[in-house]
A and B are shown apart, each in its own frame.
Chain A
């Protein structure tokens, strides 16, 4: 089955800096890669996703890049703010017929210092 590795496990940045989180996946059939933000005691929130027919996607301060050949994808957050502090999870799935069981990475604890 699919295996997703995520790093770093913790990331500390100063407000205004950029943050990058990287994930690798094992199953070349995976074609959908979402990122979730989870604050303490809250539900995972979908913040951005990318499909395998696209190499990069951007939404304001957040961007995701995908390298299918190397089987890795990354989350980039620019101009970080204290409210960006949370645990971020990457995930991968094969959505061949609208079905997308997600396999998650281990999570990255992002701390943005004011």
Chain B
């Protein structure tokens, strides 16, 4: 079946602008995660959704970052007043989670965000 998809694949924006990054998880996966990966580093956790609710947003770096998942499927990561330090690859992952209890995560291809 289809894997996790993310759009856009690349986004270039100017400092101070607002951006939205979209994630389509694997159909039926109830858990959705956002990570950020800087060059040469492992992915870093940002936020976790179980269904529609953000169950853990402890990884969001500050209040410029926000994410939603209104219908429990597609999720959007929103970044306000972008800064050059926000440049990274933003990865989305989904997991079967409930009711199977399986928590293996499958990643999307990522969105490469460049803030100029």
Contacts and interface: CB of A to CB of B under 8 A. Distances in A.
A89 B35 CA distance: 14
A43 B103 contact: no
Contact of B104 (A34, A106, A107): A34
A80 interface: no
Given A101-B48, A107-B41, A42 B109 contact: yes
Contacts of A99: 31, 48, 50, 55-56, 97, 103
Contacts of A95: 103
Given A98-B97, A98-B103, A105-B42, 17 more contacts: A6-B42, A32-B103, A43-B109, A44-B107, A46-B105, A49-B104, A98-B31, A99-B55, A100-B31, A100-B103, A100-B105, A101-B33, A101-B45, A101-B48, A101-B56, A104-B43, A107-B40
Interface of B: 4, 31, 33, 35, 40-45, 48, 50, 55-56, 59, 91, 95, 97-98, 100-110
A62 to B, nearest CB: 15
Residue from B42, B59, B106 with most neighbouring chain A CB atoms (10 Å): B42
A102 interface: yes
A74 interface: no
> Interface range on chain A: under 10, 10 to 19, 20 to 34, or 35 or more?
20 to 34
Interface of A: 6, 32, 34, 36, 42-46, 49, 89, 91, 93, 95, 98-107
Contacts of A36: 107
Contacts of A98: 31, 95, 97-98, 100-103
A4 to B, nearest CB: 8
A82 to B, nearest CB: 22
Contact of B91 (A43, A45, A46, A105): A43
* A-B interface, 4 closest residue pairs, ranked by CB to CB distance from nearest: A104-B42, A100-B103, A95-B103, A43-B107
